[in-house]
Structure 1
């Protein structure tokens, strides 16, 4: 009985820290090129993430806007949809995590664009 109580106490001590161990490396706060906009990436449903603008020095009306949606993990990268504010359209995106940067690649027909976001600590 004492061993069971000890195990239960240990479980209650360790339980609060398990969320950090299971969070995905893509989650967190990211800064766009130029540093004027910040996006928070979080899990929206099991196995999917989203990116919401949480701060913008350029346009406060953008705060709350969802930029990334339906992001899922592939083998070594992520795929999802990014909203291009200036174009007013959603595009398929390939997202690679390299250290503390996200490399977001978008292709639209013959054109492609790559954007780098930096992690905010």
Structure 2
């Protein structure tokens, strides 16, 4: 009986680890210009992304509409917030563009294990722009 319980626990733990690591959007991505790298991670049941590297690490968030935030570094900013998974699409979130200081509605679509389409838009998805990020290995 004790052996059976140990086996069941080991299988359960293995399935939990597999389920957590089987989310292909998690990891590090680079934007098309090569100026920034973003790490996508999960907090609870939502997905977020942090700008963990930029070419000029001393850049400040000068375009932020909130004056008190303009002195913070862009590197380290959480630019993707509150996404939920729906198949290969992650939606309902927002993306912050530090170049313009604007926040847009956003959806992310996994094209392959190494390509992620990021679509930022205002209002409806038709009024927006898409760029493809590449996975960093």
- The TM-score bracket by the shorter chain reads 0.7 to 0.9
> Partners of 1:17 and 1:36 in 2: how far apart?
37
Match of 1:98 among 107, 111, 115: 111
Equivalent residue for 2:129?
A: 113
- For residues 120 and 94 of structure 2, the distance between their equivalents in structure 1, rounded to whole angstroms, comes to 9
Alignment root-mean-square deviation, CA: 2.5
Q: For residues 54-86 of structure 1, give each alpha carbon's deviation from its aligned partner in whole angstroms, at most 9, with x where no partner exists.
A: 111233432210110001112441111100112
Structure 2 CA distance for partners of 1:16 and 1:75, relative to 1, 3 Å: closer
Q: TM-score normalised to the size of structure 2? A: 0.72
> Could you list the runs of 5+ residues in structure 1 that have no partner in the other structure?
none
- State the shift of 1:52 in Å: 0.5
Give me the whole-angstrom Cα distance separating, in 2, the residues matched to 1:119 and 1:17: 25
C-alpha contact (below 8 Å) 2:80/2:94 kept by paired residues: yes
- Correspondence 1:49 to 2:56: no
What is the match of residue 29 of structure 2? 30
Alpha-carbon contact 2:40-2:50 (below 8 Å) kept: yes
Greater share of strand = 1
Number of equivalences: 118
TM-score with structure 1 length normalisation?
0.80
Cα displacement (A) at 1:112: 1.8
- Residue 58 of structure 1 is matched in structure 2 by 56
CA 29–11 in structure 1, closer or farther in 2 if over 3 Å, else same = same
